[in-house]
Chains A and B, each alone.
Chain A
Amino acid sequence: MTTKRKAPAKGAKATKRTASRSKNALAGRAAMAVATSPKRTVKQRVAAIAETPLTICESDKDLQAMLNLLRDRNEPIAVRLAALQSLQAASFSVIAFEACRGDYIATLREVVDDPDPELRQRVLGLLAREKDGFAQKKLIDGLEHPERALVPPEKALQLLAYDVHAEAYAVARDVIRNPPNEDSRREALRLLSADATAAPIFEKLLGDKNELAEIRQLSASALQALRPEKLQTQAREILLDASDYDEIKATSLTALTQFGNEESVANDVELRNRVDEMAATASPNVKQSARRFVDRYSK
C-alpha cells in the first residue's frame, strides 16, 4: 500500500518538474528572441538578457547566441556587457555550466583586446580569476610594453596577483623600481607580498618613516606573511619610537597581539611598559589596540 501511495506522488512531482522546466524553457526562448533581435531597443534587449535563465547551457543554440552577442563588435556595448554578465552568472553553477565552459573561456579570450575598455577589463578579470595563462601573458606583455597594454598597469598587476604562480614577480619589481604612478607601485608591492624573497623590500619600507602610511601597513602585512619574526622586531622598534604615526603603531600592536612570540613579548619589560603607557594616553585608535595587547600579555 505504501508503495502504491508513494508512486503517484513521485510521478506527480516529476510531472510538475517537467512542466516547470518547459515553462522556463519557453520563457527563456522568448527572452532570447528579444535579446538577439536588432529591431528591439537596447534597453529592451538588455532587460531580456537579464531574464534569460541561468540554465542557458542546456540549449546549445541559446548558448551560441549569447556568445555571439558577446563577441560581435557591431552589437551595442550595453548588450554585450549584459551578455557577459548573464554568462558570468550562469558560470557560477559549475556543474550545470560544465558543458559550456570550453566555449565560454575561448570566447572570453577572443574579446580580451576589444576596443571597449570596460568590456576588456571585465573579461580580463574573469580570465585572470581562472588563472588563465593566455590572459596572464597579455597582462605581462602590457606591463613590459605599455603601448600594447589592454588595461592600466595597476589593474594588470591587481589581476596578475590572483595567481601566485604567474610569472609576474620580475615585472612587479620593475614597476617598483620605475613606477608609472603611485597606484601601480602599491599594486606591485601587493603582488610581491607573496614572494618570499621580497621580504627585505618590505622591511625597508616599514622602517621608512617618510613612506606613505598605506604602503607601510601593506609592508607590515607582507612581512607578517613572509617573515613574522622580522615583523616582531620592527614592530617593537616602532612602538618604542614615540615619533611614529598612529596607524603604524596600531598595526604594530595588532601584529604583536595576534602573532607575537608569547614568551619574548611577555618578558620584554621595556615594551610592556611602553604599551601600558599607550593604553592610558594614546589616541583612541592606538589606545584600543594597546588595551588588547595588555589584555593578552597580562594573562
Chain B
Amino acid sequence: MVGEAAGDPDRHGQLLELLREEHPFYNDRGTASTVRMRGWILATLARIGLPDDALLFVLEELDTGVDPYLVAAAARALRSYPAPRAAFAPLVMGALANIRYRDERVSFESYGAYAVGLNGTTPVAELLATLTWLGPHARAILPDLEALRHGGGVARKYAAQLDAAVAAIAAGDLSGEECCTLPRGLGAMLSWPLGTRRSDDAVAQIVLEDHDGNEIAFDELFRGHVSIVVFFYTRCDNPFKCSLTIAKLARVQQRLEERGLLDQIQTAAITYDPAFDVAERLRTYGRERGLRLDAHHRMLRAPCGLDALRRHLQLGVNFVESLVNRHRVEAYIFDRQGRVAASFQRLRWNEDEIVARAVEVMPERKITFPMVGTLSSLALAFFPKCAACWIAYLSMFGIAGLSQIPYSPWLKPAFAILLLLNAATVWLRGRATHRMTGFYLVSAGALALLSTLQFDWKSAAVAGVVLTMAGSFVSAWRRPVRASAATRTA
C-alpha cells in the first residue's frame, strides 16, 4: 500500500493520511507494529521527498521520539525536505541528545526489517548526517554540538561524522536567518476563530469521573470557564509525552497562579486509558508530578465516552484492544461554551504560549454573539444617513406619515460612534484570530463613510458601505486556520 502510494505522485497525499494515528490502519496493532509501519512511511517519504504537509510528523518524531527506528527514519526524511532551515536544528540536536543512549542499529532495506548483525544504520548516524545537511543553518546549535564532541557525548565511532557536521555548520554564516521559527503555516498550533468553532453538543452529556471519583458531565464541567485540556495515560512509556505533559500542566497551573487566573482558567488532564486509569491511579500520577488537584483543576477519565471524545476532538490516538499503541502530544483550549478555540499538536507545547492563548480566549465573553460584527455593520450600512434617506426609508416601509420627523443633527456623532464601535469589534476579532484583513477593510469603509458626512460624496458612501460590509463578513466568516508559526527556543 505504501509502495503503491509512493509510486504514484497523485497518491502521495495518502501517505500523509497514513501518518495520522487515528487511521484505521493502526487499529489493534501492537506498538512494535505501529512503529514499523510509521517508520516505513517516513522512510518512503525520505525517498520521494518530504512535502510541507508531512513536515510536522517528522519534526514530532525528532522532538518526542524515543524509538531508534522512528528517529532514524525522521532524520532521513528531513533531509529530503526541499531546503534546510535553521528552525530544524534545535529539534535535530534535541533528538541527538535524547536517542544517544538508545542508539541501536536499524534497517530500511524492506518493510518490517530489523537490523541483525552489523549491517544497517543508526539514529545517531542519521542525525549527524542531517546536521551536515543543515550546514550553516544549524549555526545556533554549533556550541552544543562542539560540547558534545569535546565531552565525549557521542561514541568514538562517530568522530569522523561529527567532525564533518561541525565543519559543514561552521563553513558559512547565515546569522541573519531567524533561528527557531518554523515555516509559516507549519506550526503546531491550530486556532479556531469564534464564529467557526464546533459546538460541544456531541459530547455534552458524556460523564467524566475525576481523580476523586466524582462524576460530572462534560458540559457542566467545561461550560462557563476557559479551560486548558491535555491528554495522557499513566502507562505511557515515553518520558517526553505523557509524563512531561502532566509536569508541564503543573507549570501551567503555576503560571496561572502567578497571574491570579487560577479561578478563571481551569485545567484538565483526560486519560486515553479510562479502563485502567482509575481515580486513585490518576490522583497518584498527578500528585507525583506536582499537579494541583481540586474542583477547578482535575484529572479525568471517560469510562463510557472516550470514543465520542475521540470523534469530537479527532484525537491523535489509536489502540491495541484497550491499550494505547500510539498517540501524539495534544493540548486544547476550550472556550466558555466548551468548544475548541485552539489546539497544540505533536510538538511539545510551551507553557507560556498556552497560557497566553487561553488568556486571549477569556475576553470573548464580551462578544456573546458571533455575528455581532456582521450585524452591526449591516445595520450601520443601511442606517439612514440624511433627511432624504429617512423619508425614503420610511416611505419604502409604508410609513409615509412619519416622514415629517425632522432630521436631527445628533445623528452624525451617533453615527460616527457606531462606525468606531464596529471597527473596534472587528479589530478585537482580528487580534484573536491573527487575521487583520477584515479590520483593514472596515477601517477603509469607515473612513469613506465619515468623509461623506463632511463632503456629501455619494460614490464614497457606496464604497464605504461595500467596504464595511465586506470587512465585517471577512471578519466573521473564516475557516479554521493554522495560527502563526509556533516558535521554539533553541
Contact = CB atoms under 8 A, between A and B. Distances in A.
Given A196-B273, A197-B275, A197-B322, A102 B104 contact: yes
Contacts of B160: none
Contact of B104 (A106, A167, A196, A228): A106
B32 A95 contact: no
Contacts of B118: 103, 106-107
Contacts of B422: none
Which label, helix, strand, loop or mixed, suits the secondary structure of the A interface?
helix
Contact of B103 (A101, A163, A195): A101
Interface string A71-112: 100000000000000000000001100111111011101100
Given A60-B157, A101-B104, A167 B320 contact: yes
A164 B235 CA distance: 8
Interface residues of A, number: 34
B115 A109 contact: yes
Interface string B155-196: 111000000000000000000000000000000000000000
A31 B290 CA distance: 50
Which label, helix, strand, loop or mixed, suits the secondary structure of the B interface?
loop
B33 A167 contact: yes
Q: Which of A60, A71, A109, A226 has the most CB of B within 10 A?
A: A109
Interface in B230-261: 235, 237
B35 interface: yes
A284 interface: no
Interface stretch (A132-140, A269-277, A285-293): A132-140
Interface string B322-356: 11110000000000000000000000000000000
B105 A105 contact: yes
B321 A95 contact: no
Contacts of A109: 114-117
Contact of B31 (A60, A165, A195): A165
A98 B105 contact: no
B102 interface: yes
Interface in A149-200: 163-170, 194-197
Interface in A37-60: 60
B29 interface: yes
B104 A165 contact: no
A98 B114 contact: no
Given A102-B103, A102-B122, A165-B237, A133 B322 contact: no
A72 to B, nearest CB: 12
Contacts of A71: 117
Contacts of B30: 136, 165-168
A131 B237 CA distance: 11
Nearest to A169: B321
Contacts of A100: 155
A103 B119 CA distance: 9
Contacts of A163: 31
Given A110-B117, A134-B114, A170-B321, 20 more contacts: A71-B117, A101-B102, A101-B104, A106-B104, A106-B118, A109-B115, A131-B237, A133-B35, A133-B36, A133-B114, A165-B324, A165-B325, A167-B32, A168-B30, A169-B321, A195-B321, A195-B322, A196-B273, A197-B275, A226-B276
Interface of B: 29-33, 35-36, 100-105, 114-118, 120, 122, 155-157, 235, 237, 273, 275-276, 278, 280, 320-325
9 contacts: A99-B103, A99-B156, A101-B103, A103-B118, A137-B114, A163-B31, A164-B235, A165-B320, A165-B325
Interface of A: 60, 71, 94-95, 98-103, 105-107, 109-110, 131, 133-134, 136-137, 163-170, 194-197, 226, 228
